[in-house]
Structure 1
Amino acid sequence: MGLLNNFLIYIIFLILFQLLVEVKPQDLRNSHTATLIDNKLYIIGGAGDGKYPPSPTFFYLNVSDSFDTNELKWHDLTNINNIPPFKYAAATKGGANNKTLFLYGGIGLNNESLNNLVYTFDTQNNILLTPTVTGIPPNGKVSITSVIDYNGLIYLFGGHSKELNIYTNDMFILDSINLSWKNVSSINAPSPRVEYGAVFLPNKNIIYIGGYNENVGVFALNEVYLYNTINDTWTTQKTYGSIPSARYSISSVLSLDNQKIIIYGGYGPTLLQSINPENSLYVLNISNFNWYIPKVGKMPPTRAFHKSVLIENYMVITFGKGYTQETDKDILLLDISNDNEYIWKTSFDLGKNNSTSKTSPIPPGTSILPSPDSEKANIIIGAIIGSTIGIAVTLGSFFLYKRKKHTKKQDGKPSTSQNIKDDKILHISSEKDNNNDNEILHIPSEKDSNNDKEILLIPSTTQLNSEKNEAISEVIVQNAQNAQKNEAK
Structure 2
Amino acid sequence: MGQAAVLSGGKIYYIGGIYLQGGIDLTASDFFYLGGPEKTWVDLKGQGVKIPLLASHTANIGGVNQDLIFIIGGLQLIPNDVLVYQFDTKTNAISTPVIQGITPSRRSGVNSVSFGGKIYLFSGRTTDNSDTLVNSFDILNTLTLNWEVGSLVNAPLPRYKYTATLVNNVIYYIGGLQKNGLGQDYSPMSDIYQYDIVGDAWSLKIATTTGIMPGLRSDHSAVLIDGKICIFGGTFKTVNMLYAMPPVVSIAMLDTSTLIWSIPPLKDPNVPKLAFHSATLIDKIMLLAFGNNTDVPGGIFNNKFYLFDLGDPNFPWYTLTAQELVTLANSNTPNTPNAPNASIPPFNIPTTPSTKSTASDTKQQQPSSNNMLVIGLSTGLGVIGLGTVVAFLFLYRRMKKNQTGGGEIDYSGGPGTSGVILQIPSSVDKNNPTYQPINQSESMTPTTPHFVNSNLHQNYSPTPTLIQSQGYSPGQEFSTLPIPQQGRFSNYSPGSETLPYFPGSENPLPPPPPPKSSVQLYGGLCHCITAGWFSVQLYGRLHITPGNLRQH
The residue identity in structure 2 corresponding to 1:172 is D
Q: Distance in 2 between matches of 1:144 and 1:284?
A: 21
Which residue among 74, 93, 103 is the counterpart of 1:137?
Answer: 103
Q: Counterparts of 1:89-488 in structure 2 under 5 Å? A: 89-109=57-77, 113-139=79-105, 141-149=107-115, 151-163=116-128, 165-202=131-168, 204-213=169-178, 215-241=183-209, 242-255=212-225, 257=226, 259-268=227-236, 270=238, 273-275=244-246, 279-298=249-268, 299-322=270-293, 329-338=303-312, 340-345=313-318, 346=320, 348=328, 371-372=350-351
Question: Which residue of structure 2 aligns with residue 39 of structure 1?
Answer: 10
Q: 1:74 to 1:374 in 2, by over 3 A?
A: closer
Q: Distance in 1 between matches of 2:162 and 2:3?
A: 15
Contact map agreement 2:9 2:350 (CA 8 A) in 1: no
Contact map agreement 2:11 2:349 (CA 8 A) in 1: no
Q: Distance in 1 between matches of 2:120 and 2:301?
A: 37
Instruction: Look up the SS of the partner of 2:165 in the other structure.
Output: strand
Q: 1:60 to 1:49 in 2, by over 3 A?
A: closer
The residue identity in structure 2 corresponding to 1:285 is D
Q: Distance in 2 between matches of 1:341 and 1:331?
A: 19
Q: 1:181 to 1:55 in 2, by over 3 A?
A: closer
Deviation at residue 74 of structure 1 after TM alignment: 4.5
Deviation at residue 243 of structure 1 after TM alignment: 1.6
Contact map agreement 1:38 1:370 (CA 8 A) in 2: no
Larger relative CO (CA 8 A, sep 6+): 1 or 2?
2
Deviation at residue 115 of structure 1 after TM alignment: 2.2
Contact map agreement 1:56 1:78 (CA 8 A) in 2: no
C-alpha RMSD of the superposition: 3.2
Q: 1:327 to 1:175 in 2, by over 3 A?
A: closer
Q: Distance in 1 between matches of 2:45 and 2:302?
A: 25
80-89 or 95-104, which deviates more: 80-89
Q: 1:143 to 1:373 in 2, by over 3 A?
A: closer
Contact map agreement 1:218 1:269 (CA 8 A) in 2: no
Q: 1:48 to 1:75 in 2, by over 3 A?
A: closer
Instruction: Look up the SS of the partner of 2:292 in the other structure.
Output: coil
Q: After the TM superposition, which segments of 4 or more aligned residues of structure 1 sit over 6 Å from their partners? A: 323-328, 350-354
Q: 1:187 to 1:228 in 2, by over 3 A?
A: same
Contact map agreement 2:285 2:311 (CA 8 A) in 1: yes
2:34 is equivalent to residue 62 of structure 1 = yes
TM-score of the pair, normalised by structure 1: 0.60
Q: 1:42 to 1:131 in 2, by over 3 A?
A: same
Deviation at residue 93 of structure 1 after TM alignment: 1.1
Q: Distance in 2 between matches of 1:328 and 1:81?
A: 25
Instruction: Look up the SS of the partner of 2:236 in the other structure.
Output: coil
Deviation at residue 374 of structure 1 after TM alignment: 8.3
The residue identity in structure 2 corresponding to 1:322 is N
Structure 2's unaligned 5+ residue stretches are: 335-346, 355-552
Contact map agreement 1:45 1:87 (CA 8 A) in 2: yes
Q: Distance in 1 between matches of 2:158 and 2:333?
A: 40
The residue identity in structure 1 corresponding to 2:219 is S
2:65 is equivalent to residue 87 of structure 1 = no
Deviation at residue 210 of structure 1 after TM alignment: 0.7
Percentage of pairs with the same residue: 28
211-220 or 53-62, which deviates more: 53-62
Contact map agreement 1:135 1:181 (CA 8 A) in 2: yes
Q: 1:113 to 1:328 in 2, by over 3 A?
A: closer
Aligned length: 321
Q: Distance in 2 between matches of 1:154 and 1:208?
A: 15
Deviation at residue 77 of structure 1 after TM alignment: 2.7
The residue identity in structure 2 corresponding to 1:267 is T
Deviation at residue 264 of structure 1 after TM alignment: 0.4
TM-score of the pair, normalised by structure 2: 0.53
Question: Which residue of structure 2 aligns with residue 49 of structure 1?
Answer: 20
Structure 1's unaligned 5+ residue stretches are: 1-29, 355-367, 376-489
**1:433-482 superposed Cα distances (whole Å, 9 cap, x missing partner):** xxxxxxxxxxxxxxxxxxxxxxxxxxxxxxxxxxxxxxxxxxxxxxxxxx
